[in-house]
Amino acid sequence: MADYDVVIIGSGLGGLLCANILSREGLNVCIVEKNFKPGGSLQTFGRKGTIFNTGLNYTESLDEGQVLNRYFKYLGVLDKLKLQKLDTEGFEVIDFPDGRYRFAMGKENFLETLSKDFPAERQGLKTYLEKIKAVCDEISMYSFSEKPSNMINERHLNMGAADYIRSVISNNRLQNILAGNSMLYSGTENKTQLFTHALINNSFIESAWRVAGGSHTLVNILTDNIVKNGGTIILKQKVGKLVVEEGKIGCAVLANGEKISGKHFIANIHPESLLNMTEPGVFRKVYVNRIRNLENTMGMFTLYLVFKKDTVPYVKHNFYHFNQDNAWIASDYHPEKWPQNYLLMHTCTAENARFADSASVITYMDFAEVKKWEHTHTGDRGEDYLDFKNNKAGILLDAVEKQFPGLRNHVAAYYTSTPLTWRDYTGTRAGSAYGLLKDFNRPLESLITPRTQISNLFLTGQNLNVHGILGVTTSAVVTCGELIDANYLIRKIKAA
Ligand SMILES: Cc1cc2nc3c(=O)[nH]c(=O)nc-3n(C[C@H](O)[C@H](O)[C@H](O)COP(=O)(O)OP(=O)(O)OC[C@H]3O[C@@H](n4cnc5c(N)ncnc54)[C@H](O)[C@@H]3O)c2cc1C
């Protein structure tokens, strides 16, 4: 039986980062991944010579001195990753029925741009920007002020993002503009914490980037590092069971029956999946009930468009459209009005930034829409499922054409994914996009810590503090801080 210092279940960003950090420190790590490719939501897929990202379309805070820049430098990723900066004068375009508004990059630029549209709200916008920065600065993994910790100021967990915005901004349109990219965090008006909103908006306003060549390039760098450090990555093997021996996890049992033993185990998977891997009674009933009763974020439907060569100019911004006034669609979702919003992002190749070779259009989709196929698997869901997807693709493309007339004529081919795709691809509950929903009404219940009731079993990934590339990176550091000296780790990141 193979024996490691640390066995990591899942090769999503969280698992890859933990393996990087721990293998650099001399620990013998092994990642076990159920898919044939590593990366989880960072995987890409190719069709007709075009590469599509799946769960990393843009990322944040990568300018010199900014938070993700510092983490990526420490990880030895930054100098190898090819980045394309989005438009500094408007990296997000927020399109409401009454007009288009821009998020400009940099605090001053952001303030000036929106103050032109809403001069009476200048002071409110200033207060808002100061607040979201202050919330981030209070997070030790963000400000590098002390040892990495999972503890987030409770005040910010208790406070709703929408409520906070309303408290400083009077204009209803501007309130909704500030939530205009809330699809990035499944923004739910009566649930989303200020903390989640602040971490995401503050970081993207600092700077926003695409990964040129596709998000798999980040995966390749991280897997190369792990292998160079002596780590092992096992693909196409699902961990089915964790065996408890004398109160600790002794080994992971893979689908082929092989057993992998380790001193420590890190689960980079949805916490509910972890519960299903152990015998009943291993976790206390109250913990099991708590995890099972937490709500998950909503799933997504994505339309991947391949464009005819050199027909669609590449634009360096994301386009968030709403066909209604309220931007908090996840809590105002009406299947009969689908799609109420969409996010359109162009992508270009590293060689040709004049024309887009493709675009992704993402919108919410409730699992109920695909529930009738829940017992089927990828590639074998039947003709009626394909009809359903094609029908939805047509409806979404019709909606997009209202803002981009004639776009359809430039489409050479299209592909789609639904919440079922995500469920089977990453193992997330009901195809939820970002895992557990962090709810300000249940602040401590929805705060998942890396420690579990089993002393050598830890959690990492998007279900901890915040999802997304930055959120998962900070969580990986917090998880590793449970296994190696956390202060030493943060000093090394600061020194990089
Ligand atoms: C449509 C969409 C768009 C997004 N766009 C962005 C974006 O532009 N920017 C951004 O920052 N974030 C974005 N995100 C969010 C971001 O991709 C995720 O938060 C992040 O990648 C999650 O990483 P993770 O490590 O938590 O886990 P995951 O990526 O979910 O990986 C978990 C891994 O565990 C594996 N696994 C599960 N069960 C088992 C098992 N039993 N045995 C072995 N392996 C197992 C899975 O196969 C998977 O590889 C997006 C998400 C979605 C859904």
Q: Yes or no: say if 486 and 160 are a contact pair by the CB < 8 Å rule.
A: no
Residue 372 lies in a domain: no
Does 457 have pLDDT greater than 90? yes
CA–CA dist 307, 217 (Å, integer):
22
Q: Does any domain span residue 457?
A: yes
Between the CA of 40 and the centroid of ligand 1 the distance, in Å, is: 5
| Cα 47 from Cα 228, distance rounded (Å) | 31
Rounded mean pLDDT, 76-100: 96
Q: What is the pLDDT of residue 234?
A: 98
Ligand 1 neighbour 300 (Cβ under 6 A): yes
Confidence check: pLDDT of 5 > 60: yes
Strand partners, 239: 254
Measure 12 CA to ligand 1 centroid, in angstroms.
5
- Cβ contact 479:15 at 8 Å: no
Ligand 1 center–CA 300 separation, angstroms: 13
For 271-320, how does the pLDDT look when each residue is reduced to its tens digit (9 = 90+)?
Answer: 999 999 999 999 999 999 999 999 999 999 999 999 999 999 999 999 99
Residue span of the structural domain in which 466 resides: 2-42+214-293+436-495
> Residue 172: pLDDT above 70?
yes
140 CB near ligand 1 (under 6 Å): no
Is 426 close to ligand 1, i.e. is its CB under 6 Å away?
Answer: yes
- In angstroms, the CA 473 to CA 283 distance is 27
Q: Is 238 in the pocket of ligand 1 (CB under 6 A)?
A: yes
Say yes or no: CB of residue 296 within 6 Å of ligand 1.
no
Q: What is the pLDDT at residue 147?
A: 57
Token output for 325:
């006034």
Ligand 1 site, residue 11, Cβ cutoff 6 A? yes
Is residue 228 situated within a structural domain?
yes
Residue 336 has pLDDT above 60, yes or no: yes
User: Is any ligand 1 atom within 6 A of the Cβ of residue 196?
Assistant: no
pLDDT given for residue 146 in this prediction? 65
Q: Which residue's C-alpha comes closest to atom 52 of ligand 1?
A: 55
Domain assignment present for residue 223? The answer is yes
H or E element that contains 140: helix 140-143
CA 244 – CA 197 distance, rounded (Å): 38
Atom in ligand 1 nearest the alpha carbon of residue 300: 1
Do the domain assignments include residue 282?
yes
Q: How many domains does the chain have?
A: 1
The alpha carbon of 408 and the centre of ligand 1 are apart by a number of angstroms equal to 30
With H, G, I as helix, E, B as strand and everything else as coil, classify residue 296: strand
13 lines ligand 1 (CB under 6 A): yes
Residue 265 in any domain: the answer is yes
How far is the C-alpha of 39 from the C-alpha of 217, rounded, in Å?
10
Mean pLDDT (whole number) for 211-219: 94
Specify the length of the chain in residues: 496
Nearest CA to ligand 1 atom 53: 433
Ligand 1 atom nearest to CA at 470? 11
Q: Whose CA is nearest to atom 9 of ligand 1?
A: 56
Q: Is 268 in the pocket of ligand 1 (CB under 6 A)?
A: yes
Residue 278: name the closest of 140, 129, 456, 105 by CA: 456
Q: Tens digits of per-residue pLDDT, 93-149?
A: 999 999 999 999 999 999 999 999 999 999 999 999 999 999 998 888 888 876 556
Decide: 182 in ligand 1 pocket, CB within 6 A.
no
Q: What is the spatial distance between Cα 482 and Cα 451, in angstroms, rounded to a whole number? A: 8
Tell me if 53 CB under 6 Å of ligand 1. no
| CATH assignment at residue 36 | 3.50.50.60
- Minimum-distance ligand 1 atom for the alpha carbon of 425: 47
With a 6 Å cutoff on the Cβ, whether 472 touches ligand 1 is yes
Per the domain annotation, does 257 fall within a domain? yes
CA angle 327, 329, 330 (to 5 degrees): 135
Domain membership flag for residue 219: yes
The residue nearest atom 32 of ligand 1, judged by CA position, is 12
Asked if residue 435 has pLDDT above 60, the reply is yes
Q: Is the pLDDT of residue 52 over 60?
A: yes
Question: Ligand 1 centroid to 235 CA: how many Å?
Answer: 16
pLDDT at 352: 86
